[in-house]
Structure 1
């Protein structure tokens, strides 16, 4: 990835921060106060209207653009060839089967060589639909089911689309829930978080952090930036220097930070259905999607 909570107005979160005292004029090391301010900063996400990006994620793909306008629409664009759109009563997928063009060509040639008749026609239609350029109508539940099949699928990296009960598609809410220390200076809050806290999203974002970072996984440094209304605009997590014991000794290139940036609160427009749709995915298409990177 939002709207039963859409009835919670953005102003609720703002009022809780006491705007009479601008954050720019406050400096504190009171972790309780700073922590509460940080938790309040994601209240505006519950209104279900914002735009965001996410880079540096682990097994969850980076998000080039997320446009959330609930209850009307959600667009999550992972890459130029991978995007999911829910608008009105329809869900649409733009996806390059096998993720990489060279792998797609190899598999397509294999099927052309070994399949005949109606079966070959079915597969050709799927490849024509899932070419990374055209939108096709999809079933959101079937996409999620394909991603959970015990084989490898490019859909494994698909972000959860926000729902009325869980409006945050950014992942910031889960990260802030894992914060263990917080200090505030103006519009910036810094501290550490525990990436090992039990949470499926944390496990995906950090890709087995205990194995990768050892004790460093429990004290990951972060920096949060708020706007003048106390709303979260940036959340950056720095990866620890400590690496897994199986790595050879010597210098290790630092990993890029996990960065979530949020903007356009209350100003994100609803997405229209695609102008052109190349049909609807068939059962055979979901079967291929469930193992397209195996």
Structure 2
């Protein structure tokens, strides 16, 4: 695969030599803001800001040792106890309302044997046994993928051209390919823009909660219980310190709503968490006009199949293994 410098030059040449991308493609690419950069600016709408910030509040597994205590009373203790099922590392979950930043269509966790995270039809990661696999559409959309593939096919020859075609065929959104989990995680955390930035941190036996519910429960400040339902508020400014840089400036983004975001938790008959819903605040950024802002959908985490989640097998068909050079390209596939 060409080096990133070579790729950047080719991408610039292609931009000058081809028709502009469709407005929808440009807008979708532009919305993929790097998670740990500040998400402020007069050009950003309040609705987009709420969506982004709500999503990134739950991107990392909970670190039990680092989280500060929160809330008091039996209801808060019951909430904390409800996470015990996640600690066993055998469950299935979904996460919606977080938008493109952190939505997870389906995830199955059966530690230590396997973890499958499905972000979309064209973006999945799988750790099973000693193998790690990904299914990924490089450059984000079929149209952009095909434009770049055609350009490389026409303008990059020899060994570099062959390597590029292999990578495009491997990362077409439908093929599974073997990958290096450490290199892929590093590419997702790179400073550059990438569609890979949305990749969830996979759980381990040491940090088995991949849902983000534990991080949110650690921020609970008030709670009341009625049967199997617990309601109250959480303080978005009291997140896991490891997530602090990702939240940017929640007091500015949410106003007073950042410190009292309503939630509803539902427990099963064994006291385990089955659903956690966070209602988006109505407050807006200080720089936004007084015009009405359309409410964002709630952030919803649903958990099921405690102790019954099956081990995910390795893919039957695998389109080879990613070359070492492709990880740099993956770190920059939205530049």
Q: Which residue of 1 aligns with 2:26?
A: none
- Alpha-carbon spacing, 1:113–1:209, altered in 2? closer, same or farther (3 Å): farther
State the shift of 1:201 in Å: 4.3
- 2:282 corresponds to 1:241: yes
Number of residue pairs aligned between Structure 1 and Structure 2: 267
> Please, which runs of 5 or more residues in structure 1 have no aligned partner?
6-29
Cα RMSD of the aligned pairs, angstroms, is 1.9
- Of 244, 249, 253, the residue aligned with 1:212 is 253
Greater strand content: 1
Q: Which residue of 1 aligns with 2:113?
A: 72
- Of 139, 157, 163, the residue aligned with 2:198 is 157
Q: Which residue of 2 aligns with 1:95?
A: 136
> Please, which runs of 5 or more residues in structure 2 have no aligned partner?
1-59, 65-70
Partner Cα separation in structure 2 for residue 44 and residue 90 of structure 1: 26
Partner Cα separation in structure 2 for residue 59 and residue 207 of structure 1: 18
User: CA contact under 8 A between 1:213 and 1:243: conserved in structure 2?
Assistant: yes
State the shift of 1:87 in Å: 0.3
Partner Cα separation in structure 2 for residue 203 and residue 227 of structure 1: 34
Partner Cα separation in structure 1 for residue 248 and residue 110 of structure 2: 29
State the shift of 1:198 in Å: 4.2
Q: Which residue of 2 aligns with 1:130?
A: 171
TM-score scaled by structure 1? 0.86
TM-score scaled by structure 2? 0.76
Q: Which residue of 1 aligns with 2:297?
A: 256
Q: Which residue of 2 aligns with 1:282?
A: 323
Deviations 1:47-92 (A, max 9, x none): 1100000011266321011100111100000101100000000000
Q: Which residue of 2 aligns with 1:148?
A: 189
Q: Which residue of 1 aligns with 2:33?
A: none
